[in-house]
Amino acid sequence: MKKLIIDRAHEAEINAALVEAQGKATARIISDYDELEEYVEDYKKELPDVPKLAFEGCELIISVGAGAFPSAYKYRPMGTYCIIRFRKDGKGEVVKIGRADCEGGKSWRWRVTEKMRAYIMTAMRCEVIEEE
């Protein structure tokens, strides 16, 4: 998949990629560019206040519909996932969109660089305890 920057200039391409990846699915999907952008902004708020530069190289994995399902649910719960990698300017690029089993887990996950980890640790006033 071609990397698509999350901005209005690529809205049509992102919508087309979502339609292609989701096929005929109607449940646990990302419906359009606006919904994807909303997910990204919401999940960025989960991090402490860090500069845009800190996002470079970090990845946000969004899993729509992730969570527990009743045991009576007889089908494999599938949901859309989207991997977004952040650039130096703080903008995200859609790296991959697909469908996968969404049972268990969280609806989002961050993969962070050492630089971002340091910013988070500082912002949260944390320090590493050296084990003896």
Has residue 22 been placed in a domain?
A: yes
> Is residue 116 in a domain?
yes
- Is 131 inside any structural domain? no
Q: pLDDT at residue 19 above 90?
A: yes
Strand partners, 87: none
Q: Is residue 129, in this structure, part of any structural domain at all?
A: no
**Domain contains 66:** yes
Helices (H) and strands (E) in the chain, counts: 3, 5
Position 9 scores a pLDDT of 94
Q: Which helix (H) or strand (E) holds 79?
A: strand 78-86
pTM recorded for the entire structure: 0.84
pLDDT given for residue 73 in this prediction: 66
98, part of any domain: yes
Band of pLDDT at residue 40, cut at 50, 70 and 90: very high
Question: Per the domain annotation, does 13 fall within a domain?
Answer: yes
Residue 69 is predicted with a pLDDT of 66
Query: Can you give the pLDDT at residue 76?
Result: 74
Q: Which residue has the higher pLDDT, 31 or 71?
A: 31
Tokens, residue 127: 């320090």
Residues 25 and 80: beta-carbon distance below 8 Å: yes
pLDDT in tens, 80-103: 899 999 999 989 999 999 988 877
Within a domain: residue 108? Answer: yes
Domain range for 92 is: 4-123
Alpha-carbon distance 79 to 9, whole Å? 26
Q: How many domains does the chain have?
A: 1
Q: How far apart are CA 62 and CA 26, in angstroms?
A: 17
Residue 110 corresponds to which tokens in the numbers above? 């961050």
Is the pLDDT at 71 greater than 80? The verdict is: no
- Are 96 and 60 in contact by the 8 Å Cβ rule? The answer is no
